[in-house]
Structure 1
Amino acid sequence: MIQNTDVNLSNAKDKVENAVEKNVVKNIADNSKAITAQQVLIAGGGHVGLSFALLLANHGIASTLLEKNSYPTISPKDDDNRSHYLDSRNTALSRRTVQIYQEIGLWDELQSHACRIDAVQVSEQGSFGRAQLNKAEEKVESFGQVIENAWLGRKLLLAAQHEPLITLIDNANVSAVTQKADGVTLSFSYYGEEEQAQQLQGSVLVACDGRDSTVRQLLDIGTTTYDYQQTAIVGVVETDKAHEHVAIERFSPAGPLAVLPLTDPNGDGNDEYQNGYRRSVVWVCPKGEEKRYLEDDAHFLQTLQQAFGQRAGKFIAAGRRGAYPLTRVLADKQVDGRCVVMGNAAHTLHPVAGQGFNLCMRDAHVLAQMMNAQVLKGADIGDPTLLKRYEKARLSDQKRVIRFCDAVVHGFTHPNPVIKLARNVALVAFDKLPNIKPLVATYAMGLKS
């Protein structure tokens, strides 16, 4: 359905008629096939796709976004309170990502469910190496914010639904991509309906449709994959000690672990007086061992306690958890003619250090700026030369983040005692030597790309 209307459309004819009223359909070949002319087509309406559409709209650029799933019906008047105290997934937003949401005027809506990271503690289980980053020492407001995925998605969707430059189409199954010298045609059908394929025409197609991207496969873009042989257990826990806005990175023989601060159930995570006891947990275990961590709360809490000691206090409650196999997936190329692959379709990374989504946001921000520059000079927004320039401009940042994530994963799980000694010496050196922390902090906050 076309989501930024107030009418539930029951069949293809109604969809087409409604689109005509909104001046998006430029040509109707027959009553079952609509060809719409748009500057930018976006496949994939998750957090990256919605954010990219909003970035474009901030520059006055219209887009049509197709999402394969059904969007929920929500209203600004809906209850904002968290319905499940311990049931949520969360994302660590870097300082740069927060700045991007500030640019498009959305951060004020997001921050009530976000929690500042004022300090980061790094250590290895059973070793002497320790390091800490502190916002006062680095002279920053924070290193980033941890936000509930459900809240982020809700606010992005609401903003897109109320943005006249964005047309949302959900339940859309992309079936073909056709490129010509002057544009792209995207064919799709609606899930659960027997009807001929619909078509959209645009100057450029941006695929934000996830790790197993349909568009990437239709474009015959290959991938390079690496299986870490690990599974991430993700969830929310409660501790008896307030988090005090401290993120804890801990390395164990199984893999990297993280405990991140979260907001109180009804509080603002940026309130200096908040005493938050909720924490987001990313626990990495060898593949095949996830079942007991998912099903046995007592075992999960006991394992966390052993890994973290008393750094986070006592782990006293655990909520529903999800398990996610960890595989690095890198597209062999990110631009094909007038098509761009972005987000997890371009690079799916290990969650260590929480860099994946933030890297995607920097990609989206740069492409939106480059497209805006094309519009301002009256040039083709989907010019393949421009898109190749974008791809080249982003490679340095992407490669740096990928190398960093892999170095941390492999470096801190290698059992060799010599390597273990070296990494702990490196942690101590990082903590003590001048001029190193500011450089690392700058990269971690996404302020240098």
Structure 2
Amino acid sequence: MTTDTQHNKTTSTHQPIIIVGGGNVGLSFALLLAHHQIDCVLLEHFRYPTIEVDDDRERTQYLDSRNTALSRRTVQIYQEIGLWDRLQSYACRIDRVLISEVGSFGKASLEKDAEGVESFGQVMENAHLGRQLLLAVKDSPYITLYDGASVTDIAQDEQSASVTVQFDTGESRVLISTLVVACDGQHSSVRKLLGIDVDTHDYGQVGIVGVVQTDEPHRHSAIERFSTAGPLAVLPLTDGRGDGGTDSTQGYRRSVVFICKKGEENQYLNNDDKYLQTLQQVFGTAAGRFVATGKRGAYPLTKVLAHRQVSGRFVIMGNAAHTLHPVAGQGFNLCLRDAYAMANLLAKARADDGDAVDFGRYDRLAAYEQSRLKDQKRVIKFCDTVVGSFCHPNPVMKFARNVGLVCFDKIPGIKPLVATYAMGLKS
């Protein structure tokens, strides 16, 4: 990685591809480009914490964590670019998925052996995922990283695109490139500067995310439980010491995604006993007894869909392009498939055109956007259908969806199809 600590005010410098936003999607996209030996500059608004290689071997906050469910396809992508070896020891595989509804008869399950897969995916704490991606970025000679850097203005013409960057030191710089990719989140500043409109839908729900401890081991099971408030999930985690979730792991740590109606979140955030009792009521004995919990975060759930993902030499990606409901953990995995497709397209462009390649040529970017719409629309429809169907209080709807769960569990041929989609293997 190269760095530059001398920022001359209003200096214009020509850069390779510019990525705005250094969250997990932006970091991953930079590493995908690096895999193809394509140089890029990565800009992040916040300052990253100082980390070393051994910093995250021991977890200091055993029960404090957000997490990401990595689909089978996401794992394959990280394997392909040589990252999975450094991620795997912090990930816990999902061997089975148990699905049911609170107070209803319908139940279904997916078993990895029955579907002939190594696992349905992996669960990884964001603290570990983000640290390992950042360490990989720091190790890469193809990535120039600037943190504490905010984009305040943009411009473009037929030959180039530029971003004005304000550093937290008070200095500024104009960076010029042929392509800018914005991975700067749901409230993307680049998207707003481009004037790209969005469709938004407030679910009227809040996602409460945290880690709990149970008195029974998870045995690599993910539990999906539906209620009128929204879909709920308990996911397996490693024991917090980078053990990889092996069969010898005790496995009493679990991640919880708990959905409640907006306005009800404080009672679950501020009262551990109330929170644990509610989880016990919702999940029954499926996870054993909930015995401890750590600090929880609350996140209002809103769907945000950009009207366009390409504007001239600018591409918006990740949550800037589509922020989805967390049901079934599809959001990050869809974003990574977008990033993978874009990186491969740019690698092919360079192979075709050599050193004279124009990465921001509009016809290429438009082709990328068109190629990703089918996968995006399918995932968006799936999330909306699940949320809409299982949150509807009508007793007829409730009966119908429970019959559907029974049919899903018993009728041959349905599970492999659903499992393939859920693992991100059909896009």
Using the size of structure 2 for normalisation, the TM-score is 0.97
Runs of 4+ in 1 over 6 A off after TM superposition: none
Q: CA deviation at 1:419?
A: 0.6
- What is the identity, as a one-letter code, of the residue corresponding to 1:155? Q
- Show the counterpart of 1:129: 106
Write out aligned runs for 1:116-265 (5 A): 116-193=93-170, 195=171, 197-265=172-240
**1:408–1:430: structure 2 CA closer, same or farther, 3 Å change rule?**
same
- Partner Cα distance (2:54, 2:250) in 1: 28
**1:362–1:295: structure 2 CA closer, same or farther, 3 Å change rule?**
same
- Show the counterpart of 1:424: 402
The alignment status of 1:94 with 2:71, answered yes or no, reads yes
- Show the counterpart of 1:390: 368
For 1:273, what is the secondary structure of its paired residue? coil
1:353 aligns with one of 321, 325, 328: 328
Question: For the Cα contact (< 8 Å) 1:301–1:318, is it kept in 2?
Answer: yes
**How far does the alpha carbon of each residue in 1:392-414 deviate from its partner, in whole angstroms, 9 at most, with x for none?**
10001001101110111110010
- Show the counterpart of 1:55: 32
- Segments of 5+ residues of structure 2 without an aligned counterpart are none
- Segments of 5+ residues of structure 1 without an aligned counterpart are 16-30
- Show the counterpart of 1:316: 291
**1:116–1:122: structure 2 CA closer, same or farther, 3 Å change rule?**
same
- Show the counterpart of 1:401: 379
- What is the identity, as a one-letter code, of the residue corresponding to 1:393? S
The alignment status of 1:42 with 2:19, answered yes or no, reads yes
The alignment status of 1:283 with 2:254, answered yes or no, reads no
Q: CA deviation at 1:79?
A: 5.0
Question: For the Cα contact (< 8 Å) 1:120–1:134, is it kept in 2?
Answer: yes
Q: Note the aligned Cα RMSD (angstroms).
A: 1.2
For 2:209, what is the secondary structure of its paired residue? strand
Q: CA deviation at 1:37?
A: 2.0
- Show the counterpart of 1:84: 61
More moved, 262-271 vs 137-146:
262-271
More moved, 283-292 vs 197-206:
197-206
Question: For the Cα contact (< 8 Å) 2:98–2:110, is it kept in 1?
Answer: yes
Q: CA deviation at 1:265?
A: 2.8
Question: For the Cα contact (< 8 Å) 1:39–1:381, is it kept in 2?
Answer: no
- Partner Cα distance (1:157, 1:267) in 2: 17
Using the size of structure 1 for normalisation, the TM-score is 0.93
Q: CA deviation at 1:192?
A: 4.5
**1:342–1:142: structure 2 CA closer, same or farther, 3 Å change rule?**
same
- What is the identity, as a one-letter code, of the residue corresponding to 1:57? A
Q: CA deviation at 1:151?
A: 0.6
* Percent identical: 61
Question: For the Cα contact (< 8 Å) 1:228–1:326, is it kept in 2?
Answer: yes
- Partner Cα distance (1:307, 1:370) in 2: 45
For 1:377, what is the secondary structure of its paired residue? helix
- Partner Cα distance (1:192, 1:34) in 2: 15
Q: CA deviation at 1:267?
A: 5.1
- Partner Cα distance (2:305, 2:56) in 1: 39
How many residues are treated as equivalent by the alignment? Answer: 424
The alignment status of 1:113 with 2:81, answered yes or no, reads no
More moved, 231-240 vs 176-185:
176-185
- Partner Cα distance (1:257, 1:362) in 2: 25
Question: For the Cα contact (< 8 Å) 2:306–2:320, is it kept in 1?
Answer: yes
- Partner Cα distance (1:115, 1:51) in 2: 20
For 2:179, what is the secondary structure of its paired residue? strand
**How far does the alpha carbon of each residue in 1:225-255 deviate from its partner, in whole angstroms, 9 at most, with x for none?**
0000000000000000100000000001211
**How far does the alpha carbon of each residue in 1:170-200 deviate from its partner, in whole angstroms, 9 at most, with x for none?**
111111111110110111111241x3x3111
Question: For the Cα contact (< 8 Å) 1:86–1:237, is it kept in 2?
Answer: yes
1:332 aligns with one of 307, 325, 336: 307
Question: For the Cα contact (< 8 Å) 2:239–2:245, is it kept in 1?
Answer: no
**How far does the alpha carbon of each residue in 1:291-325 deviate from its partner, in whole angstroms, 9 at most, with x for none?**
01000000000000000000000000011000000
The alignment status of 1:434 with 2:412, answered yes or no, reads yes
